Chains A and B, each alone.
Chain A
Amino acid sequence: MSELVQANWWLFVVALLIGIAVAWWIFVVSRRTKVERGARTDVLDEGAEPARRNQALIDAPPAAAEPVPVAQPAPAAAAADDLKRIKGVGPKLEKLLQSLGVTSYAQIAEWEEADIDRIDAQLGTFEGRIRRDNWIEQAKLLAAGDLAGFEGKFGSL
């Protein structure tokens, strides 16, 4: 056995080096993050809209500093609604909205784009849900009591 190894030591060295090279390729080269550059556009090509949106977010009052209601609640709708009936709103999000002073469908139904941006910025991990789940339209139907219309469009309550 030892004669065999001694006579072919170079073969073992080559095998060891190939093994190390394969491991290097597996653990280093193939795990590198690949950056796709072709499809990316320059940030300057996006115009002033992103900057305007960011400025609106910067100018928006911080959640902790000013926990006032965003929209004026209609007197009739001042009583708290079950916000969980809005598709996409669960118990956690309902609590968060209540802490922001949003308790009724009428309030949500009255939101403008700026209100959406302001509230959205305070939703943390739920950011983007308002537009994605179309809360405004859901809230309009619920505030109007149009349950049939709601269920026709968004599914059963």
Chain B
Amino acid sequence: MPIWLELLILVLLTYVVGIGIGWIIWGREATRRAARGRMQDE
């Protein structure tokens, strides 16, 4: 595997990890709230 591809995959993985961290910080509660709102609407 060329070294640049290895580097690209690792960088993309790090990017995804960053999104995951963001979801844990801000997204979890918002997702839960949205699901609760949907249930109330029904």
Instruction: Please list the residues of chain A having a beta carbon within 8 angstroms of any beta carbon in chain B.
Output: 1, 4-5, 8, 11-12, 15-24, 26-28, 31
The tally of residues in B whose CB lies under 8 Å from a CB in A reads 20
* Total residue contacts A-B, CB cutoff 8 A: 67
Q: Interface SS of chain B: helix, strand, loop or mixed?
A: helix
Q: Once the chains bind, are A27 and B27 in contact (CB under 8 Å)?
A: yes
Whether a CB of chain A sits under 8 angstroms from the CB of B21 is yes
Chain A residues touching B, majority SS: helix
Docked pose: A154 CA to B28 CA in angstroms: 49
A85 to B22, CA, bound (A): 56
B23 CB contact (under 8 Å) in A1, A23, A31: A23
Contacting residues, chain B, for A20 (C-beta < 8 A): 18-19, 21-22
